[in-house]
Structure 1
């Protein structure tokens, strides 16, 4: 009886999952598209290439190298395996997921140094400062990565929809405000600060949910002491 009911719930679960994933992808692509039609009017070709290509490539490479392997491994874990409540398995999962942070910091720092060396930039130049600010934005996202992985294992798809939509909207609004209202600001700095706004929303969104709603205890969310045993 229970087996048949589980099989009957699968189409509903798939429909539920598809709905939220589709909405997440639509908003994460649609919001930037709308704002870019306004922003591009205030940018030169060089500025737009910096915004849409160079910084995007840098951030994508850093985040991919820092977290993709952990995401693929942790997403395959079943925290409810063995008929348990999932608390112990969640702590084990987070032990692995938190390893993205030290690795990500190393990769981010190395990536920033490489870009500055490759383009022969002075550390005091505004473009170099923008690279470091983008690196800080990457670290903000990596700080939220363990909780992102946990939320995906718990199928908290609505949380992802809200967090990513708010973060994307925040990045677009920040970019527009800085470019339109502060035309004297270096465009590279404006783009980098908008990425920090995105990373901050992701960070506060996932941390706020798991800390405020007490889905798991702090010892499970931050299982650092358990590494010693």
Structure 2
């Protein structure tokens, strides 16, 4: 009897250790692949770029996308990640609806910030819409909006600890960005490098959008009204 009691008292701890190990494994794999895949591709791509092209790709566009996304979603992401969506809770549906109502605020805010950032760059550098750099900025802006369309479902998946989903979707998105850039550069399409970089970023955002929406709508039995819960009344 004492032995059985000891085993029972260790079970919750063992479960926590297993959960922690699983979380660590998926997060480590996600970070490794999201950094490792671009490193391998960039080691080839950098040989085909001038210093100006590489600065445009690695600094200017990266700074634009990072700033827009950070200002648009970081506050909502940090707040929503604190939500507790227990799978056995009777109020899970209600809590999920409340979470998504907040998470969807990232989209209108992101659209405003994206437009403001694009207009600021146009005004600051005196660009016209026919300028390839201006077109690349607009394409990058669209890529940001695609990511923001997936943001509520990303937040939902993380609060529900769907770490494998994040691993698969982000790995596929990273591969799509690298492969798109590789194809457009290696096969010498008559296209400005800035446009190539912007299209590769759009491919990344598109796969994030498709991946999360495909999973929740087709594989997780969510409906459109579940994802857009604004018609729910208390």
Given the alignment of the two structures, is residue 103 of structure 1 paired with residue 109 of structure 2, yes or no?
yes
Give distance in 2, aligned partners of 1:62 and 1:3. 49
Post-superposition offset of 1:149: 0.1
1:131/1:155 Cα in 2 relative to 1: closer, same or farther (>3 Å)?
same
1:43 aligns with 2:49: yes
Structure-1 separation of matches of 2:87 and 2:217 = 24
Q: How far, CA to CA, are the matches of 1:183 and 1:98 in structure 2?
A: 38
Whether 1:201 and 2:195 are equivalent positions in the alignment is no
Q: Which runs of 5+ in 1 are unaligned?
A: none
Shift of 1:3: 7.6
Of 120, 128, 136, the residue aligned with 1:122 is 128
1:170 is matched with which residue? 176
1:179 aligns with 2:185: yes
RMSD: 1.8
Q: Paired residue for 1:32, among 28, 38, 42?
A: 38
**1:19 matched to 2:52:** no
Q: Decide whether aligned partners of structure 1 residues 217 and 122 sit closer, same or farther in structure 2, where only a CA change above 3 A counts.
A: closer
Query: 1:7 matched to which residue of 2?
Result: 13
1:58 to 55, 64, 71: 64
Q: Distance in 1 between matches of 2:110 and 2:47?
A: 35
User: Is 2:137 the counterpart of 1:131?
Assistant: yes
Gap regions ≥5 residues in structure 2:
none
Please tell me whether the aligned partners of residues 62 and 111 of structure 1 are also in contact (alpha carbons under 8 angstroms): yes
Distance in 1 (CA, whole Å) between partners of 2:54 and 2:136 is: 15
Q: How far apart, CA to CA, are the structure 1 residues paired with 2:88 and 2:162? A: 21
Contact 2:86 2:160 in 1 (8 A): no
Equivalent residue, structure 2, for 1:191: 197
Q: Distance in 2 between matches of 1:151 and 1:135?
A: 24
Number of the residue aligned with 1:210: 216
Structure 2 counterpart SS, 1:224: helix
Any idea what SS the aligned residue of 2:170 has?
helix
C-alpha displacement of 1:214: 3.2
Rg (Cα) greater in structure: 2
TM-score w.r.t. structure 1 length? 0.94
CA distance in 1, matches of 2:122, 2:31: 33
Q: Is the 8 A contact 1:87 1:216 kept in 2?
A: no
The DSSP-based 3-state class of the residue aligned with 2:70 is helix
Kindly provide the CA deviation profile for residues 130-183 of structure 1, in whole angstroms up to 9, marking residues without a partner as x.
000000000000000000000001111000001000100100010111112125
Distance 1:107 1:91 in 2: 25
Aligned residue number for residue 159 of structure 1: 165
Alpha-carbon separation, structure 2, partners of 1:8 and 1:40: 47
